[in-house]
Structure 1
Amino acid sequence: MTGRPAPEALPPSLRGGLGLIAALAALVVVVLGVRYADDGEPGTVDARIGSAVYGLRPPWRQVALFTDYLGEPVGAAALVAALVAGFLLLRRPRAAVLVVAGAGLTVGTATMLKPLVGRTINGGYLSYPSGHTAFATALALVIALLATGRLGLGRAAGTLLVLGSALAAGAAMGWAQVALGAHYPTDVLGGWCTALAVIPTTAWLVDRAADRLADRTADRTAGPMADAGRREHR
């Protein structure tokens, strides 16, 4: 007996579409990284958007600070722990693995890219891509992938839910980062695309690893059972 297979981290209906989106997002990350490499000033678009958003007053500044806190180590760890617990209660172990691995790889990728690109803000702080935005987008993507699978959504509806969730989370965190002067708007876009590139790829890898583990477990179980059956028929 092998039991019911665990639901996929990446719903089959979304594999092709999200694979293409991940590739395009990775391309955007590279293009923006090359464009703003070793730059320490806002671009034209950055300046226009930043001037409209920067300089919040209460209570919006407190909202931005709280949103930013959710991307800091303590807040981020609490969010990840809560999601892992929730996914396990829902009996979605692959989603639980994905939220840890996906968030870790997304933030790790953003952290690795910062010194490679070398873009700075506020007198020397590395800024591209935005790790906070990447983290928030990554969590939203994992939740949306789980919802797509549980609701049995098709390709169009599932893709709309996934991209809409990613856009909402990325926009909220990105707004906070720009409003607080921590990142340029193009840093936010780079962080958003980083998550779009990493999460679908990580979900696919989680599914492959889980499927291989399940096959090996089934083979080990089938071997002794087959031997016992042959002994019974002797």
Structure 2
Amino acid sequence: MLLPAPLRAWLGLTAVLAALVVVVLGVLYAGHSESGRVDRWFIDPTADSVRPPWRRTALVLDFLGEPAGSVLLVGAIVTGCLLLRRPRAAVLVVAGVVMSVGTATLLKHLVGRTIHGDGNLSYPSGHTAFFTALALAVALLATGRLGLGRTAGMSLVLAAALVAGAAMSWAEVALSAHYPTDALGGWCTALAVVPATAWFVDRMADRMADRMADRMADAGRRGRR
């Protein structure tokens, strides 16, 4: 079970609130091509203010969100899930990442916010959505494997999402690839999408298991005749 019963309601509420944040920010910054007031509270994303060695760290994080880096990272985590005999978690890693990044990409075209030119769609950050989705999937696996309750489980899941999201957000803003509100939108996109994806994977896996059990029972009854 990817979504333990004690966490289901709380993660559902978190997903709804995150989706609202994504929508509100999308409406506020639709069609914009410059930083907003909230963005200027943090850092000017058009200024290259990060120097070595921190710039190298930001570049490494950014690479992990690029196609080559993300494939390597997802492949390693999926392999780990399969070695631990957690096929549902492996499916969630792939599906959660694909759905989160896909949703972020769709929203970019719907919102139309740009940075550094009309061709650079920025809201929400796909890198941040990717890294947060990956952290959420791993945290849900750990929660189920360790048998954590509601408080400990939610703390682990939200902490993992916060750390991963903050790290990638910092890298993207520091490299002038996104506004801070783009990163927040990407983080909330993953928070909204991954719990829903986990619920769907659980439902599909349970249905497949029930069908398999029914077929085995039918085969057993026919064999006794």
> Aligned runs of 1:153-232 on 2, under 5 Å?
153-229=148-224, 231=225
Give the TM-score taking structure 2 as reference length.
Answer: 0.97
Q: Does 1:115 align with 2:104?
A: no
Q: What does residue 101 of structure 1 align with?
A: 95
Contact 1:54 1:178 in 2 (8 A): no
Q: Which runs of 5+ in 1 are unaligned?
A: 1-7
Q: Does 1:12 align with 2:8?
A: no
- Residue aligned with 1:157, SS: helix
Q: Does 1:128 align with 2:123?
A: yes
2:20 to 22, 27, 34: 27
Give the TM-score taking structure 1 as reference length.
Answer: 0.93
Q: Distance in 2 between matches of 1:228 and 1:38?
A: 66
Q: Distance in 1 between matches of 2:40 and 2:33?
A: 12
- Residue aligned with 1:126, SS: coil
Shift of 1:110: 0.2
Q: Deviations over 1:96-149 (max 9, x none)?
A: 000001100000000000010000001121000000000000000001001111
Q: Does 1:59 align with 2:67?
A: no
Shift of 1:54: 4.7
Number of aligned positions between the proteins:
223
Q: What does residue 39 of structure 1 align with?
A: 32
Q: 2:28 is aligned with what amino acid?
A: R
Shift of 1:208: 0.2
Q: Distance in 2 between matches of 1:137 and 1:64?
A: 16
Q: 2:135 is aligned with what amino acid?
A: A
Q: Distance in 2 between matches of 1:111 and 1:88?
A: 29
Structure with the greater alpha carbon radius of gyration: 1
Q: Does 1:83 align with 2:72?
A: no
Q: What does residue 74 of structure 1 align with?
A: 68
Q: Distance in 2 between matches of 1:152 and 1:217?
A: 26
Shift of 1:228: 1.9
- Residue aligned with 2:30, SS: coil
Runs of 4+ in 1 over 2 A off after TM superposition: 51-54
Shift of 1:10: 1.6
Cα RMSD, aligned residues only: 1.1
Q: 2:52 is aligned with what amino acid?
A: P
